[in-house]
Structure 1
Amino acid sequence: MVAVAWRSLLPVIIISAFIVYEERVSFPSCKHLPDTTNHPGEHIGNEDGSPEDLTVMMVANLLLLGSDAGFVNLYFRDYYMSKFFMKSFQSLKPDMLLVLGDVSAKGSELSRSKWLSVFHQFDRLLGPFLELPLHVILGDRDVGECCDLDAKSVNWVARNFPGLDSSGCGAFEISNISFVSLNAVALLCGNNKLRFGVEKVVERESVDLQMKTKSTAETKDESGMSRELSYGFGWRENAMTSGSGPVLVLHFPLYRPGNTYSREGSAFKSTIHPSGHSLNFVESSNLSGSGPYDLSQTVPPNATEYIFQALKPRIIFSAHTHEFSDHTHPDGTREVTVPAMTWNARDDPGFIVATFRGNISAVSVTYCSVARESDILIVYTCTLVLFIILVIVSNTPQLKDF
């Protein structure tokens, strides 16, 4: 009788254990990253945040398929990704969400009606994040490669995301932190109309930043009277110091000379190709390995220098590679590359949480990972096997008494 009672409780125990596991596995695992740049006299750590702090969650490479998504994507991957977003929102309590491009896996090939299905899928995944300030930038999968880059198509997609202009760029300020987002795809495209539009945005932001600096920078002359410092407004004559500009967000990483500091790879481990690029172990899969641009592609050196001279970014956040990277450029500017947030690209998705602390120039960065798809599939498989064994035992008279 005891054995029979115990056996009747096994399904309840298995289901309860699975529910507990599913709840726990939905929470992200996060690790604070040490600052790789030099900020004398400043200390940022895991101390309790003040009301003035701005916490921004950054995700990239969602690679949504919209109406083309199959059963597995709709009822397994999307289900868990929406839970990951929900639990991340509950545990981290961010003030804003930034999506660094490649919202769609095949956006450059989609009709407008199919794009609408991607937008609906995007909204379902984000859940509570739709209540927060949201900014989305465009990636190469969203708008295509240079030969197919169409200004009208880019403008239509950009209009469906908040804060983007017709060239796919944006500029905004929240909690006294200035952000500039650029359509980095256009910067790869030579004499393209969209590239000229991006350059105009950079020039405009450069002038605005220097005007703000000029209006606040004053010195005392020998007679005690104050006088304003003179600054040139052309980007080549930008007198602002490195790191004094806005937070820069874009899809492609900026060009990286080989002699600068870099920490790369998921969970701070990676396989380094002889070329110096970090290789994702799932890079050969059909979805993650294909696309308009190679995963090692960066913004060209001349465009990178142009951005540094014009904007003097405080910190840079990029994406595209599917891998995490924490990089310091020669002038000391920090660039954090956000990993892919989808099982369509990697077995262990992740995201970044950045905390901006008032007037402190340094930025606190936390790397978060979510559950591996392979681990969840193993649990599903084990649970299914146990149920099959229970059914066999229950329907086999010779085994009922064991």
Structure 2
Amino acid sequence: MPRFGVRWTVALLLMLLLAGAFLFCEYLIYFPTILQCAWPRIGRARGAEGIDGRPADAALRAMVLSDTHLLGAVGGHWFDKLRREWQMERAFQTALWLLRPEIVFILGDIFDEGKWSSQKHWEDDVRRFHRMFRHSADTELVVLVGNHDIGFHYDAAVSPCRMDWFKLQRFEKVFNASSTRIVTKKGVNFLLVNSVALHGDGCPICQSVEKELIKLSRDLNCSLQNSQPGGGVTDGCEGSQLYPPTAPVMLQHYPLYRVSDAGCTGQDAAPPEERHLLFREKYDVLSKEASQRLLQWFKPRLVLSGHTHSGCEVVHDNKYPEVSVPSFSWRNRNNPSFILASVSPGGHALSKCFLPEESTVISVYCSAGACLLLLALAHCLWMKGLLQCLSLCLLGKHKSL
């Protein structure tokens, strides 16, 4: 083969190898990983006693993720921002296409710098969020508020990171809904809680949120009472809004109070060296008082929370299960995941869907780089050997003459 043809062949092989690695790592890798996930069937699992093997398509299909932390203009490096947002966009869009959820919940900390971003930077972050998490009209997207979205309640009044009405209303305006409310779909009540405002210190936002929670608790309790045989409008229920008479699924950013993650297991749990670190009330988890009030007011059949960036399953008071949803961003963990929930008025079932590990992507790129290097080296050695052979042949002919 002529040298010119050999060079072109080698160059083509190098380009194909590079393009193949890029195509696999940036597009195709999400498909085989998410195809392993499936909607769970509601059976005799915790929270679904007495429900006979209801098929998943008869229940509401809800996808739950948390802590996307879209990087902002101040602390986010452009390449880190580009990389993480591309990963989340591809994972989310692939999951929507393959799994077709009816509703998607994001449990707060949508943005990383909402606590201090200017209006211009906020609008840029919001624009990127809507591009990344675009969805069809038959999928409802519900967003909860987190401490990075509106500020930290515990910061001093002079801090630019402090929660205030402007940041809260700015968030609620973007997502066109109150941060504390009930979303009902297919007869299932989802209680959305602004857990950032549950510090119980009498701050105006805290008072407003607690007042709304008390009203929602009254509405749900009245709905349950009115559903009883022979039930009518009972005392104290005049003018209350009626909901399906089922216990709610409670969703919030902060977890309910627990001492630590010491009892958490699984591949998405906190690293072993961090599991025994004690949680701080009102910082890592809600306070004991706030947690007990929520459980007493609503008696939820399931609690879903975020904030810790790691997975965990706990049961409060031996009857209220809580699942902490890990971060959806590869910036926070090597193996992000999300929850697939099949929920009906009488039961629920959960499964976890893991996304590609970033270490796998890095390994593929490193392997492709090594193959490129070896192929280039082999080509150089082959060309060198060919030149030496030609030189010897020419030298031999010269001597014979």
Fold shared per TM-score above 0.5: yes
Q: Does the C-alpha gap of structure 1 residues 344 and 209 become closer, same or farther in structure 2, counting only changes over 3 Å?
A: same
Amino acid at match of 1:159: K
Larger Rg: 2
Q: CA deviation at 1:112?
A: 1.5
TM-score normalised according to structure 2 size: 0.79
Q: CA–CA distance in 2 between the matches of 1:85 and 1:72? A: 20
What residue is the counterpart of 1:192 in the other structure? 203
Two-structure CA RMSD over aligned residues (Å): 3.5
User: Which of 203, 208, 215 is 1:204 aligned to?
Assistant: 215
Q: CA deviation at 1:192?
A: 1.2
What residue is the counterpart of 1:238 in the other structure? none
TM-score normalised according to structure 1 size: 0.78
Q: CA–CA distance in 1 between the matches of 2:192 and 2:232? A: 30
What residue is the counterpart of 2:146 in the other structure? 139
Q: Does the C-alpha gap of structure 1 residues 327 and 231 become closer, same or farther in structure 2, counting only changes over 3 Å?
A: farther
Q: CA–CA distance in 1 between the matches of 2:113 and 2:222? A: 41
Q: CA deviation at 1:315?
A: 1.2
Q: Does the C-alpha gap of structure 1 residues 275 and 381 become closer, same or farther in structure 2, counting only changes over 3 Å?
A: closer
Amino acid at match of 1:345: N
Q: CA deviation at 1:127?
A: 3.0
Q: CA–CA distance in 2 between the matches of 1:206 and 1:214? A: 12
Per-residue Cα deviation, 1:18-51 (whole angstroms, up to 9, x for no partner): 234654421335376997636542355xx7423x
Q: CA deviation at 1:346?
A: 0.9
Structure 1 residue 11 corresponds to structure 2 residue 22: no
Contact 1:36 1:334 in 2 (8 A): no
* Counterpart mapping for 1:123-202 below 5 A: 123-128=130-135, 132-146=139-153, 147=155, 148-164=162-178, 168-188=179-199, 190-202=201-213
Q: Secondary structure at the match of 2:143?
A: strand
Of 307-316 and 17-26, more deviation after overlay is shown by 17-26
Q: CA–CA distance in 2 between the matches of 1:400 and 1:201? A: 82
Structure 1 residue 248 corresponds to structure 2 residue 250: yes
Structure 1 residue 83 corresponds to structure 2 residue 90: yes
Aligned length: 363
Per-residue Cα deviation, 1:158-181 (whole angstroms, up to 9, x for no partner): 2111322xxx32222111111111
Structure 1 residue 379 corresponds to structure 2 residue 379: no
Q: Does the C-alpha gap of structure 1 residues 207 and 48 become closer, same or farther in structure 2, counting only changes over 3 Å?
A: closer
Contact 2:108 2:143 in 1 (8 A): yes
Q: Secondary structure at the match of 1:108?
A: coil
Q: Does the C-alpha gap of structure 1 residues 38 and 26 become closer, same or farther in structure 2, counting only changes over 3 Å?
A: closer
Q: Does the C-alpha gap of structure 1 residues 231 and 11 become closer, same or farther in structure 2, counting only changes over 3 Å?
A: farther
Q: CA–CA distance in 2 between the matches of 1:328 and 1:144? A: 29
Per-residue Cα deviation, 1:88-127 (whole angstroms, up to 9, x for no partner): 1122110011110011112212112111111112112213
Structure 1 stretches of 4+ moved >6 Å: 33-36, 293-296
* Counterpart mapping for 1:2-401 below 5 A: 4=6, 7=10, 10-11=13-14, 14-15=17-18, 17-18=20-21, 19-20=23-24, 22-27=26-31, 28=34, 29-30=36-37, 37=46, 39-44=48-53, 48-50=55-57, 52-68=58-74, 69-128=76-135, 132-146=139-153, 147=155, 148-164=162-178, 168-188=179-199, 190-218=201-229, 226=230, 244-256=246-258, 263-267=264-268, 271=272, 273=274, 275=276, 297-357=284-344, 359-360=345-346, 362-394=347-379, 397-398=383-384
Q: CA–CA distance in 1 between the matches of 2:61 and 2:263? A: 24
What residue is the counterpart of 1:284 in the other structure? none
Q: CA–CA distance in 1 between the matches of 2:136 and 2:102? A: 9
